[in-house]
Amino acid sequence: MKIKNELQPNEIDSSRMPVKLGSALRVPSYAYPAWGITGDEKWLREESDRQYEIEWKDGTEKQMQNVVAAITKSGLGDYSQKLRDSNASLVAEAVKKAEREVNYLELGAGVSTINVYNKLKSEGLDLQKLKGTLVEPSKERIETAAAKLEGLGLKLGRDFKIYAARDVDIPKFVEPNSQDIASYVAVVHHHADLDTPLRCVYNALAPGGKIIIADWHNAMWEHPNRVFELLKSGFDWPTKDDDLKAFVSKYTRALEHAPELSPLDAASNAHIGRFWQCYGKVEAEQKANGTFNPNDRLVMLEAHRPVERQNEVLQHVGYKKITSERLVPDAGILYVTQAWK
């Protein structure tokens, strides 16, 4: 898609860098002051959402494979699977307890959805008891997921529905108060502002319904100084001095010291720094062997945030009994969060 190569608002030219930085409108919106971002709130929200759409809409299966390749290279091997498994276990537990069909809404559906149905199968549960409404902006990926579910004996239309759409589009096709469980597996961090999507999901949930968020968390994108330090110490490229100057000139607080991090957040940032170094190598290999596809490119500046920041928004929207379980012992990088309507 041509637009991927055009410079976006609040973006510097990172075309010579080992990773594409993307627009700073993608960082958590509470960090906008640190990034020097100001403007009309409605425009900022819409433009930030558009920046994420540019990244994901035309992505293929390869986009996810690149993520997995970088995760594996960086030694975070089974982390994506840990998130999927934590969601699948909670969904299976609910299906087991339920006396009737369970309406299941998954946002950013894909491999994680297949994982859920496989878990039901492995537990000897009736797959048709889970009525999936599966939402994912990449048409190719949602259709691939549907084909895999049909391979498990389920029927599109009868047992599950698919929508090539975003979470914020669900009021157009999901009845209010209709869903028993709504899950996000490694997805909700694709929003600088979490309140709108989490409210859409809240409205779709039946009273007593549950949201499950299994996600990556870190504090890297809260301050340009953290990104500056990562670029400076973690990467080398021929035009590094000039590109770092451009970074500091656009994001002027990059040379300020960012606030101290808790040990869990510091460990999480170290992990995520390694991920991006390895992702840079994955792209470099593809460019060298001619398999690089710009539509599958990941964009570095992201809206991941420490889990406490996410949970503040859940509470603000109205969710109750919010609990987060850390999935790795030494870093605040993976959590599965549950909350109820």
Shortest CB 256 distance to ligand SAM, Å:
31
Report the residue from 47, 58, 159, 167 that binds ligand SAM according to the rule CB under 6 A. Answer: 167
CA dist 297 and 280 (Å) reads: 10
Amino acid at 252: T
CB nearer to ligand SAM: pick between 204 and 254: 204
272 lines the binding site for ligand SAM (CB under 6 A): no
CB nearer to ligand SAM: pick between 68 and 98: 68
Lay out the sheet containing 179-185: strands in order across: 160-163, 130-135, 102-107, 179-185, 205-216, 334-340, 320-326
Shortest CB 88 distance to ligand SAM, Å:
10
Helices assigned H by DSSP within 171-251: 195-204, 224-234, 240-250
What region does 75 belong to: left with phi over 0, alpha with psi -120 to 50, or beta?
A: left
Q: Are 127 and 152 in contact (CB under 8 A)?
A: yes
26 lines the binding site for ligand SAM (CB under 6 A): no
74 lines the binding site for ligand SAM (CB under 6 A): no
186 lines the binding site for ligand SAM (CB under 6 A): yes
Contacts of 78 (CB under 8 A, 6+ apart): none
Shortest CB 111 distance to ligand SAM, Å:
3
Report the residue from 44, 90, 111, 211 that binds ligand SAM according to the rule CB under 6 A. Answer: 111
300 lines the binding site for ligand SAM (CB under 6 A): no
Q: Are 298 and 94 in contact (CB under 8 A)?
A: no
Q: Which spans of this chain sit near ligand SAM (rule: CB under 6 A)?
A: 52, 56, 59, 67, 84, 107-108, 110-112, 135-138, 141, 166-167, 185-187, 190
